Structure 1
Amino acid sequence: MKYLEAINNFLNRISMILGGIAVLALMLLATGNVILRMFQLPFRGTYEIVSFLGAVVIAFALGYTQKNKDHIVVDILTEKFPKKLQTVIEALADVVIMIFFGIVSWQVYVWGMKIYESHEVSETLKIVFHPFVFAVSVGFALLCFSASVDFLKKLSPKEE
């Protein structure tokens, strides 16, 4: 179990670093574009690049957010349940997350392959954008992996 947690921590740390780089690039691009607009020299295709980078930022934060339980949880009803029942409900939620986002990751990957095989490019800049689609697929896969580690932790006996 500790090895899975170590792998999960490592992968999510890498994804957060890459997501942070994407946020930095997004910020520099948006800020530079605003400044250059004052001189009538805006960057061409800023909207496209910002959209691609935004998708990567969000996708790469998913696994880390799941691992640290930083997402929004509505537990008004379940907090009154016995601890064992709460654990069962949380485990079921982890299974639903694994199934749903596993399918999402797979389908986004399939979509990325279609884009890659058809040599589709972005509308304004005419750049290939399948790497961004694959990055989003990886982000969803990391969310699945984090949920599966959480699920396995709930099944394993507690160390005291």
Structure 2
Amino acid sequence: MDRLMGIFSKSFMVVGGAALLLLVLLATANVGLRFFHAPYSGTYELVSFLGALVTAGALAHTQRRKDHIVVDILSEKFPPGVKRFLDAVNYAATSLLFGVIAWQVWVWGEKIKIGGELSETLKISYYPFVYAVAAGFGLLALVLLVDLLKTMVRSEVPR
């Protein structure tokens, strides 16, 4: 399961990285075009959509690498068994939280799809990007679930 999560999280990270590259190129090109008084219309919309992909793509892989900020001022003083218990509770709660977030974002995407909502300038459908964000949160929830299982099986505290 851990290997599968690695494949999915790296795939999402690659998509997020490609979106970041496109975002930077688009923003840079638009600045250059503004110099000639010919900015690309719809840049704001595209940058927003690409920014959502960048964020959604990075969530799970960042968790797998444990690159999120960890505040352990109090927990570092606890014995290893207590740390493991607290980590397990944390992983369970955050997995549940991000699972619910993924589900609700997906439901929101369904509403947008049914409503046929489009971006104002370029008339691009919002829902594929909303689904991508939901998938990113869902994958994060699964990675946290795997972390919970690892914490319950191992005797050492993962960091």
Q: Same fold (TM over 0.5)?
A: yes
Opposite residue 54 of structure 1, the aligned amino acid is: G
Opposite residue 153 of structure 1, the aligned amino acid is: K
Opposite residue 30 of structure 2, the aligned amino acid is: N
Which residue in the other structure is 1:23 paired with?
A: 20
Counterpart CA distance in 2 for 1:8 and 1:85 is: 27
Report how far residue 158 of structure 1 moved. Answer: 5.2
Which residue in the other structure is 1:55 paired with?
A: 52
- Which of the numbers 113, 116, 119 marks the counterpart of 2:116? 119
Correspondence 1:12 to 2:5: no
- Which of the numbers 29, 36, 41 marks the counterpart of 2:38? 41
Report how far residue 104 of structure 1 moved. Answer: 0.5
TM-score (norm 1): 0.94
Report how far residue 121 of structure 1 moved. Answer: 0.3
- Which of the numbers 125, 128, 136 marks the counterpart of 1:128? 125
Which residue in the other structure is 1:148 paired with?
A: 145
After superposition, give the CA deviation of every residue in 1:38-70 in whole Å (9 maximum; x if it has no partner).
001101011111011111101111101111110
Correspondence 1:67 to 2:89: no
CA RMSD of aligned residues (A): 1.2
TM-score (norm 2): 0.95
Counterpart CA distance in 2 for 1:71 and 1:127 is: 32
Q: Partner of 2:49: helix, strand, or coil?
A: helix
Percent identical among aligned pairs is 49
Report how far residue 99 of structure 1 moved. Answer: 1.0
Report how far residue 33 of structure 1 moved. Answer: 0.3
Counterpart CA distance in 2 for 1:117 and 1:22 is: 26
After superposition, give the CA deviation of every residue in 1:22-48 in whole Å (9 maximum; x if it has no partner).
001101100000000000110101111
- Which of the numbers 90, 94, 98 marks the counterpart of 1:93? 90
Report how far residue 118 of structure 1 moved. Answer: 1.1
Opposite residue 45 of structure 1, the aligned amino acid is: G
